[in-house]
Amino acid sequence: MFQSQVIYETRRAKNLTQVELAAGICTQNTISKLENHNIAPTVNILTKICSRLELTLNDVFTEFSQDPQDDLELTLNDLEESYYNGELAEVKTKLRALNKVKAAKTNPRTFLLKAYLLLDQGELDNASFQVDLLLNQIQAQEDEDLALMLAYALKGYIYSQKQLLDPAEYYFNEIIKKVNAAQHETYSDLDIKRLLFLCKKCSGHYCKIDNKNKGLKIAQRGLQISQSHRSSLFVEDFYLTLAHFQPETKGQFLKTAQVFAEYNQDQMVVEKINAQLQ
């Protein structure tokens, strides 16, 4: 069990503000959610926070090393965040290693990560199989709304790629309802990344089918969430959507997208933008 009070008490004992503790590691909002709502960040961030406070992970978890399932969940959190950050090689390597762990083979997020990677490789049918395995695991769990929406995003994307627009529209409409209703102020960093990923997938779909109304709304929702949490993740994609649907200010939006793509080291998007600016 995560013990956020240990971090809070140690930070106060060292006379550090939340901003000082977060500097170079995460946002102050992450520290606030950690301390006030007992929401643990991903393992990479938590390790750096603990190091700055001269703590170990054992100090902030009850029986941290004695529950293999907790260790697995932390590893999967880390891998999922790495995927959203574009660190695909690391995800592939670590996911292969997890194939040797029995509990990982039936974990819903193992299916999710495999589906992500297969879609990136254009293997739609194999990815669809992984999504079906994911749905079988999570549909009966009431607390898995966001995981269900991630599965819907993949289903919608697969149908969209196959030009089956009616079923694709069903899934993307369900996602938009969830995203618009999301009370994201107390979401963990990982859940914010998931929410932004959903916005990205929806905005990309509506660009593809040229639905200006829905495309603009979901891109603007993505930007609003990004700004609320001081995140740059996928911001270039949202500005590309604005550029697509608003030709009168296209150049301005493309240049803004270019800045964020370069900052996020998203070379594929940088090249796409450069081609449009020429």
Site of tokens 């643990």: 40
**pLDDT, position 57:** 78
DSSP state string for 158-213: HHHHTT-HHHHHHHHHHHHHHHHH--GGG--HHHHHHHHHHHHHHHHHHHHTT-HH
Predicted confidence at residue 73, as pLDDT, reads 80
DSSP code of residue 65: G
pLDDT for res 255? 93
- Select the highest-mean-pLDDT range: 15-29, 179-193, 213-227: 213-227
Domain 4-60 classified CATH 3.10.310.30? no
**Do residues 107 and 136 lie in contact, with contact meaning Cβ atoms separated by under 8 Å?**
no
CB 158 within 8 Å of CB 170: no
How far, in Å, CA of 160 to CA of 158, rounded? 5
223-248 average pLDDT score: 94
Nearest-angstrom CA–CA distance, 54 and 31: 16
CA 30 to CA 35: how far, in whole Å? 9
- Does the structure show a pLDDT above 50 at 25? yes
What confidence category does residue 3 fall into, taking pLDDT thresholds of 50, 70 and 90?
A: confident
65 pLDDT exceeds 50?
no
Give the rounded percent of residues in the chain with a pLDDT score beyond 70.
94
d(CA 201, CA 220): 13
Winning range, highest mean pLDDT, from 75-79, 151-155, 229-233? 151-155
Whole-prediction pTM: 0.76
**pLDDT-derived band at 119, boundaries 50, 70, 90:** very high
Ranges 12-16, 104-108, 228-232, 233-237: which has the least confidence: 104-108
Q: Give pLDDT tens digits for 166-190.
A: 999 999 999 999 999 998 888 888 8
Q: Are residues 89 and 117 in contact, defined by beta-carbon separation less than 8 angstroms?
A: no
Centre a 10 Å sphere on the Cβ of residue 262 and count the other Cβ atoms it contains: 14
- Residue 131 confidence (pLDDT): 94
Query: Which candidate, 201, 226, 206, places its Cα nearest to that of 216?
Result: 206
Q: Which amino acid would we find at residue 207?
A: C
Stretch 131-159: mean pLDDT, rounded?
84
> Which of these ranges, 66-70, 79-83, 220-224, has the smallest mean pLDDT?
66-70
Segment 85-103 mean pLDDT = 86
pLDDT tens by residue, 140-150: 554 467 889 99
218: helix, coil or strand?
helix
Domain 67-190 sits in CATH at 1.25.40.10
Q: Which two tokens stand for residue 135?
A: 């749905």
Neighbouring CB atoms inside 10 A of 47's CB total 17
| Distance (Å, whole) CA 218 – CA 205 | 11
Closest by Cα among 72, 40, 49, 51 to 189 = 40
Model confidence at 6: pLDDT above 50 = yes
Give the pLDDT band (50/70/90) at residue 69: low
Asked if residue 31 has pLDDT above 60, the reply is yes
Angle at 95 between CA 89 and CA 96, to 5 degrees: 95
Would you say residue 134 has pLDDT above 80? yes
How many CB atoms sit inside 10 A of residue 150's CB? 26
Q: Which residue has the tokens 């054992």?
A: 58
Asked if 127 and 154 touch (Cβ cutoff 8 Å), the reply is yes
Of residues 140 and 269, which shows the higher confidence score? 269
